[in-house]
Structure 1
Amino acid sequence: MTGIIFDFNGTMFQDSPLHEAAWFEMIAKYSSKTLSEDDILHHMHGHTNDEILKCFISEDLTDAQISELSLTKEANYRDLCLQNPDNLILTTGLIDVLDHLKAKKVPMTIATAGIKENVDFYFDVFDLGRWFDYSKVVYDDGSFPGKPQPDIFLKAAENLALPPQACLVIEDAFSGILAANRAGIGTVLAIDPTGQNREKFAASDLHINQIISDFTEFPEVV
């Protein structure tokens, strides 16, 4: 049986512009660095907040400073989400996919670089408890290195009681796909709704089985 591990941000929920806006505001406040598209692709999306803060603000931030800045950024991001209620929806086709997987009793969970406060927000706003066991969700709790290290997907596979090679991961971020490769995930799907990353994905050495635009193109796994 194949287990499904979903990334969340930019995959289940098309919120990348909102995360970017919150990060741009914070980085502009505390740093003079200018962010390039490459910085955003390789050093922002998919990474944990402490890694992003150390990369773009300062390597010398204390744990207390990182915690405070992280909570501030995520609170700002959630406010942006609520300010755009028309866009506070799951990715096209996803609800049908989740309903189908649940009906077929396919093991599935979420592995996100987001923090617990955001996961709580998503479970409330999107009623994710219809499909997912909260206790099996993997999020940034500070206990393991973030993507592109494989730990997050190894932990998610363990939560599903499956070996990594028996799992399918769906990701939107370069770092997340690299983490899935390093974890030995059997099938890796990339989602690229706007088409802006397809050439970069294709030109990389990443192992990607399929690139989809939304969940209406999700493969039949059972």
Structure 2
Amino acid sequence: MKGIIFDFNGTMFMDSDLHEAAWLYLLQKYSEKELTEEDILKNLHGKTNDVILRNFISKDLTDEEVQKLSDEKETFYRKSVLESSNHKDFTKGLRDVLDYLKANDIPMTIASASPKINMDFYFDYLNLGNWFDYDQMVCHTGSFPGKPAPDIFLIAAEKIGVEPKNCLVIEDSYSGLQAAHNAKIGTIVAIDPDGKNRAVLEAEGLAKDGVIENFTTFISDYLK
């Protein structure tokens, strides 16, 4: 492993509950569809907002309608983050990992399905610039296909100058892990803090290099 690519939501920052709540708010307001557990696993987390909205609200939404609904959902979500006492820091153990990677000059970046406005929020809220080059971060801009297409990880690997086969990707989402496989990433680690998706991820071969709950033993397990 010569470089590391982090997913953000549900990986570096345990906010899946807030995203689910924001989507539930929006879908209850604009759609009659109900979210199932399978929907949450396979059709929500890791997907870009345009895909989610056209899947759950209407496939005929215009780009302008998608942008308006996306902005409403993300505004609701960011407000929830700021108001939550349980969402003030990184996933357990991650600060030590980031400090270790920085101290050892290991190339690293973030590849997230989040829109740029959210990544800007995270860079400010969690001081991501202490560890990451903003210009190397990859987020959803609409200029390439979202996960499970491989593009986001191929772009991220190129930005840090490391071949995909020499990268480690850490992901929580079903579609994100698929994207890492599709990008032929060398080391793929799943993070599943509550253990609720481990059986599915392992059964489908999406977590070929292990499933972790947090980053407390990540340095010894994967970086040494």
* TM-score calculated relative to the size of structure 2: 0.97
Q: How does 1:83-122 map to 2 (within 5 A)?
A: 83-122=83-122
1:183 and 2:183 aligned? yes
In structure 2, list runs of 5 or more residues that go unmatched.
Answer: none
Q: Which amino acid aligns with 1:134?
A: Y
Is residue 201–residue 207 contact of structure 2 (8 Å, CA) maintained in 1?
no
Counterpart of 2:12 in 1: which secondary structure?
coil
Q: CA RMSD in A?
A: 1.0
- Equivalence for 2:67: 67
The aligned runs of 1:1-222 (5 Å cut-off) are 2-218=2-218, 219-222=221-224
Gaps of at least 5 residues in structure 1 are: none
CA-to-partner distance for each residue in 1:72-123, whole Å, 9 max, x for gaps?
1101100000110342210000000000010000000000000111101101
The Cα offsets for residues 46-90 of structure 1, whole Å up to 9 and x where unpaired, read as 000000001110100000000111111101100000110342210
* Residues in 1 aligned to 2:62 and 2:14: alpha-carbon distance in whole angstroms: 31
Counting aligned pairs with the same residue, the percent is: 55
CA distance in 2, matches of 1:33, 1:178: 25
- Across the two proteins, how many residue pairs are aligned to each other? 222
**C-alpha contact (below 8 Å) 1:2/1:221 kept by paired residues:** no
Task: Report Cα offsets for 1:122-164 as digits up to 9, x if no partner.
Answer: 0101000010000000000110111011000000001011111
Q: Is the 8 A contact 2:189 2:207 kept in 1?
A: no
The one-letter amino acid paired with 2:223 is: V
Contact 1:157–1:167 under 8 Å retained in 2: yes
- Deviation (angstroms), 1:210: 1.0
1:68 aligned counterpart, secondary structure: helix
Question: Structure 2 CA distance, aligned partners of 1:86 and 1:112?
Answer: 21
State the shift of 1:34 in Å. 1.1
Residue 203 of structure 1, CA deviation: 1.3
1:181–1:207 Cα contact (<8 Å) kept: no
TM-score by length of 1: 0.98
Residue 207 of structure 1, CA deviation: 4.9
**Aligned partner of residue 10 in structure 2, secondary structure:** coil
Report the AA paired with residue 175 of structure 1. S
